[in-house]
Structure 1
Amino acid sequence: MYSIFHPELTQLALRVLREQRAYERGDYQVETVRAFQRERLNVALSRAYADSVFYRRRLGEFMATHPQGCALSDVAQIPFTTKDDLRTAQHDLACGPLDGAWVYYETTGTTGPSTPCPRNEVDSIANNTALILRYGEVLSRHGDRHIIAVMGPTELHSTGDTFEDVFRALGHTVVKMWPRSPLVGPERALGLIADLGVTAVVCTPGVAIELARHVIRAGRDPRTLGLQVIFALGELSTPEMLENIGGIWGAAIYNCMYASQEASILAVVCPDGRQRTVPLNNYYELIDPETDEVIDVPVDNAVTGEMVVTNLYRGHKPLIRYRTGDMVTATAEPSGGWVIEPVGRIRDTVQLGGRSFTAYEVERAVFTHATGCLDYQMALTSDDGEETLDIVVELPYEHDDAQVRGLERQIQAELGVRTVVRRGHTDGIAGTGAMVSWKAARFHDRRGGPVDAERAAAERLSASRKR
């Protein structure tokens, strides 16, 4: 209905749809995409320099030395934008006052000051179109019509608005319900899933785990609820972990997007289960987080680095060379995009036995050999210099210790540190990963150092949920 009153937005939306459809069909080759990106990049830089207080200062030297515009190869000369910049700049990052936006969101502020994330209509058109096209393909594999429960916060957060817009555009019915809300709760959410015949849900892995646990403890089987599809988002999710959760629910499960409140949609899942970037919306770089050097992403090999992104659309709050703080593995495709796999935040790296591991590698070591595992949590201790990794695995349907003993041997062999695995229940901190980080939620380093700020935030958040 909104576009009826703003015909200029209808024209913009139709143009974006044509461009995105052409890309999805494979009509664009890499040269076409690069030319598109170069043109949109120079428009984005000029606009940010002219209209953003923050970028007028940040881009001054670069714009002075590139008065006729720049090539994509010149982007590496532009200073990075960091999360600290967002926290410090606040509203000065935007291209205009807030009354030029159509909706206001902000980050949760769980581990630091909240940062404003206002969006205009162009933000939503560009990002939601990519979601609509790819999610339409995914859902069509599981039936023509779906009733979809969107389980995420709505206050100052984009989850409910975005997925409502996307799924309604695809002709599906949307039920917005947040199981952690005092107005809903897990029992009511599960009752609605059963009564309404919900066939798909959008939620974090943590919420999928909590709801399955609730069903199992009541003596029921989650598979009897009839879910067909789970769109998982918001926290680290290895394919092995998702396979375990999907098996418990009897549903197909997808790591449905790589995104953040501040950067919007950076990659979207495709029917083959892999996430691909959206190169008509963003210019992507991969960098070495220690040297800041750009890493070439080849077609025939996967490389890992920190994701850096520049928005190419005329959003309310532009991001130029934004360091996400996320490590991803990327492989280029002939289309000009990348296939990516998020492997954890830079600060989620852990040291075990003198070796460095990403969060992805640690979680994969647990779930690769587990069957029917609902959840996990681990703690690292050191006694006389010998490190021990103590892992709790939640195996709701396993009644003997054979799998646990096998897990001990396999995880110890892969991570190279003494490992003790025991069956049990994870505590509430494990469910805070979407709000903090993988390490804060699932990896407790008890080797004698001080409790870091993120772990403390996870503990406070877990305690507040219990209340």
Structure 2
Amino acid sequence: MFTVFNEELAQLAHGIRDRHQSFARGEWTEESLAAHQLQEFRRTIAYVKEHSPFYGRHLAACDPAAITSLSADELAAVPFTTKDDLRREFEAVLSLPMSKAWIFYETTGTTGRSTPCPRNNTDSLHNNTALTVYYDTIFRQFGDEQVIGVSGPTELHAFGDTFGDVCRNLGHAVAKMWPHSPMVGYDRALETLRVLPATGLFSTPGMALSLAKKAYAAGLNPRRDFNLDVLMCTGELASPSLLENIGALWGARAYNALYASQEASVMGAGGADGRLYTAPLLNLYEVIDPESGLAVEPGADGVRTGELVVTSLYQGSKPLVRYRTGDLVRLGAADPAATLPATSLEVLGRTRDGLVIGGHRISGYDLEELVLSRPRGYLDYQLVIDAVDGQDELTLHLEVPSDRDGVSVDESAIAEVVRERLDVPVTVEYGTLSSVTTTGAMVSWKAARVEDRRLATPDGERAAALALTSGRAQ
């Protein structure tokens, strides 16, 4: 309701809402969207050059008035922004002083220096409006009487504020709970979910599994003793098979709800049909070869695969220009039959999270989808890669309920698909897994889910993940 105290912001909010709703209804043409993106790209360049000390230097040679199109050739004349730039320049990247923000967030700092990510009202209005319009397509399936739990990673993360605001926009009650907090813990979070009872939950995929695991340990069955209709998963890699398993555990529909970062805010959001969509009123999207930095051309299927680069198309506290996300994506083409008239997006993991197994390169997303396409009903998983006599071998560790209720694992089918794709043997083992599997959102998918015994010592991210588990409430 803060906008009632500021007429300018109230007008801005109405305009943003109207644009996003019009876009979602399919009322924008390719030409009108391209014109909007070009206009806002040029405005962002001019804005950051004037207001950000870093960009004043970094883009000194860029004249926004000279940018006449968003072709690959013209974009290539604008230098990239990298994570190293953000860590080195710190507050110099900001386009507004902290006093002009309404809230302060920062990156986790588990694998590098934390960087400031303040948000002003302009930032939140743009991002939360896009999410409100996209999520309306999901939540309207489950009626009006909804209570949504929100379980985020830390208090300095946008998770709770963003989803709380979006649910308020949609008319749904919210309960924020932090199971890793020593003041809350898993038992209290589960009790809150039951007593409300919550009909939906925003969490990481790992948290959704952990809560199910803790429920079973307390003698509860997630499907029978809770009332969840929908799980909105974000913050970690989420293959379709993992989401299907999470939904089966809770007797609910699980969505890959959001692709975002503290630095770049919202880059993708889910729709009712289960796809993850770009937000082209918020960002300009590019796909580049991570090695050469050159634009990737679409394949015969219209899909571009490579590292995602985004530019903010709104001017707030910290707009980023041609920001290399470090994430490998598949960017599809718009589908007339889709829930939303935006391109679909599959996030395949960080570019450095790719693995070579049996001589075959595979992304984290595709590896997870491969090994989890057959098992259902598991509470947690981890992969071990070993080399025996020069031959790579995989072990899929699954943690399942003690009564194996709802568990279905076709080991021969898993072995067949892995052999076909990677030409390596796979063994399925069962047992309790350590809490390192819960660190994906804080460190990386690979650090949380993969133990690569081919390495003499754990890499830096794996070591950070192991260290992180010792300081969390379990």
Name the TM-score, length of structure 1 as normaliser.
0.96
Residue 414 of structure 1 and its aligned partner are, at CA, apart by 2.9
**Alpha-carbon distance between aligned partners in 2 of 1:406 and 1:326, rounded to the nearest angstrom:** 30
Query: Cα distance 1:131–1:300, how it changes in 2: closer, same or farther (>3 A)?
Result: same
> Aligned residue for 1:117?
117
Per-residue CA shift, 1:53-82, capped at 9, x if unaligned?
00111111122xx54444212122111101
- Structure 1 residue runs of 5 or longer lacking an equivalent are none
Q: Does 2:340 correspond to 1:339?
A: no
- 3-state DSSP of counterpart to 1:310: strand
**Pick aligned residue for 2:387 from 382, 389, 393:** 382
Residue 373 of structure 1 and its aligned partner are, at CA, apart by 2.4
- 3-state DSSP of counterpart to 2:296: coil
Query: Cα distance 1:293–1:219, how it changes in 2: closer, same or farther (>3 A)?
Result: same
Q: Does 2:453 correspond to 1:446?
A: yes
Task: Specify the code of the residue in structure 2 equivalent to 1:375.
Answer: D
Task: Specify the code of the residue in structure 2 equivalent to 1:92.
Answer: A
> Aligned residue for 2:50?
50
Task: Specify the code of the residue in structure 1 equivalent to 2:328.
Answer: M
Residue 326 of structure 1 and its aligned partner are, at CA, apart by 0.5
Report matched runs for 1:166-181 at 5 Å.
166-181=166-181
- 3-state DSSP of counterpart to 2:12: helix
Report matched runs for 1:176-325 at 5 Å.
176-224=176-224, 225-297=226-298, 300-325=301-326
Are the equivalent residues in 2 in contact too, given 1:150–1:202 (CA < 8 A)? yes
Query: Cα distance 1:381–1:9, how it changes in 2: closer, same or farther (>3 A)?
Result: same
- 3-state DSSP of counterpart to 1:420: strand
Query: Cα distance 1:455–1:154, how it changes in 2: closer, same or farther (>3 A)?
Result: closer
Q: Does 2:441 correspond to 1:434?
A: yes
> Aligned residue for 1:354?
359
Q: Does 2:19 correspond to 1:14?
A: no
Are the equivalent residues in 1 in contact too, given 2:447–2:461 (CA < 8 A)? yes
**Alpha-carbon distance between aligned partners in 1 of 2:420 and 2:300, rounded to the nearest angstrom:** 32
**Alpha-carbon distance between aligned partners in 2 of 1:259 and 1:133, rounded to the nearest angstrom:** 16
Are the equivalent residues in 1 in contact too, given 2:373–2:414 (CA < 8 A)? no
Are the equivalent residues in 1 in contact too, given 2:379–2:400 (CA < 8 A)? yes
- 3-state DSSP of counterpart to 2:376: coil
Are the equivalent residues in 2 in contact too, given 1:367–1:373 (CA < 8 A)? no
- 3-state DSSP of counterpart to 1:145: coil
**Alpha-carbon distance between aligned partners in 1 of 2:298 and 2:4, rounded to the nearest angstrom:** 43
> Aligned residue for 1:465?
472
Are the equivalent residues in 1 in contact too, given 2:312–2:321 (CA < 8 A)? yes
Are the equivalent residues in 2 in contact too, given 1:289–1:305 (CA < 8 A)? yes
**Pick aligned residue for 2:69 from 65, 68, 71:** 71
Query: Cα distance 1:437–1:363, how it changes in 2: closer, same or farther (>3 A)?
Result: same
Per-residue CA shift, 1:342-396, capped at 9, x if unaligned?
1111011011111111001110111111122222111111222122212201232
**Alpha-carbon distance between aligned partners in 1 of 2:324 and 2:182, rounded to the nearest angstrom:** 35
- 3-state DSSP of counterpart to 1:255: strand
Report matched runs for 1:139-150 at 5 Å.
139-150=139-150
Query: Cα distance 1:79–1:70, how it changes in 2: closer, same or farther (>3 A)?
Result: same
**Alpha-carbon distance between aligned partners in 1 of 2:255 and 2:449, rounded to the nearest angstrom:** 21
Are the equivalent residues in 2 in contact too, given 1:33–1:336 (CA < 8 A)? no
**Alpha-carbon distance between aligned partners in 2 of 1:384 and 1:102, rounded to the nearest angstrom:** 58
**Alpha-carbon distance between aligned partners in 2 of 1:18 and 1:406, rounded to the nearest angstrom:** 49
**Alpha-carbon distance between aligned partners in 1 of 2:245 and 2:154, rounded to the nearest angstrom:** 28
Residue 463 of structure 1 and its aligned partner are, at CA, apart by 2.1
Q: More deviation in 111-120 or 219-228?
A: 219-228
Task: Specify the code of the residue in structure 1 equivalent to 2:45.
Answer: L
Are the equivalent residues in 1 in contact too, given 2:326–2:351 (CA < 8 A)? yes
- 3-state DSSP of counterpart to 1:60: coil
Task: Specify the code of the residue in structure 1 equivalent to 2:365.
Answer: Y
Are the equivalent residues in 1 in contact too, given 2:375–2:409 (CA < 8 A)? no
Residue 407 of structure 1 and its aligned partner are, at CA, apart by 2.9
**Alpha-carbon distance between aligned partners in 1 of 2:35 and 2:370, rounded to the nearest angstrom:** 42
Are the equivalent residues in 1 in contact too, given 2:393–2:425 (CA < 8 A)? yes
Report matched runs for 1:55-134 at 5 Å.
55-63=55-63, 67-73=65-71, 74-134=74-134
Residue 145 of structure 1 and its aligned partner are, at CA, apart by 2.3
Residue 336 of structure 1 and its aligned partner are, at CA, apart by 7.5
Pairs aligned (count): 465
**Alpha-carbon distance between aligned partners in 2 of 1:145 and 1:379, rounded to the nearest angstrom:** 44
**Alpha-carbon distance between aligned partners in 1 of 2:468 and 2:427, rounded to the nearest angstrom:** 28
Per-residue CA shift, 1:316-345, capped at 9, x if unaligned?
111000000011111122798321111111
RMSD: 1.8
Identity %: 43
**Pick aligned residue for 2:428 from 417, 421, 424:** 421
> Aligned residue for 1:455?
462
**Alpha-carbon distance between aligned partners in 2 of 1:318 and 1:168, rounded to the nearest angstrom:** 26
**Alpha-carbon distance between aligned partners in 2 of 1:466 and 1:266, rounded to the nearest angstrom:** 30
Residue 261 of structure 1 and its aligned partner are, at CA, apart by 0.8
Query: Cα distance 1:205–1:402, how it changes in 2: closer, same or farther (>3 A)?
Result: closer
Residue 298 of structure 1 and its aligned partner are, at CA, apart by 7.0
- 3-state DSSP of counterpart to 1:332: coil
Per-residue CA shift, 1:289-322, capped at 9, x if unaligned?
1111112347953231111000010111110000
**Alpha-carbon distance between aligned partners in 2 of 1:59 and 1:336, rounded to the nearest angstrom:** 33
> Aligned residue for 1:329?
330
Query: Cα distance 1:59–1:424, how it changes in 2: closer, same or farther (>3 A)?
Result: same
Are the equivalent residues in 1 in contact too, given 2:377–2:408 (CA < 8 A)? no
Residue 192 of structure 1 and its aligned partner are, at CA, apart by 1.0
- 3-state DSSP of counterpart to 1:318: coil
**Alpha-carbon distance between aligned partners in 1 of 2:356 and 2:314, rounded to the nearest angstrom:** 40
Are the equivalent residues in 2 in contact too, given 1:229–1:251 (CA < 8 A)? yes
**Alpha-carbon distance between aligned partners in 1 of 2:134 and 2:145, rounded to the nearest angstrom:** 16
Residue 98 of structure 1 and its aligned partner are, at CA, apart by 1.3
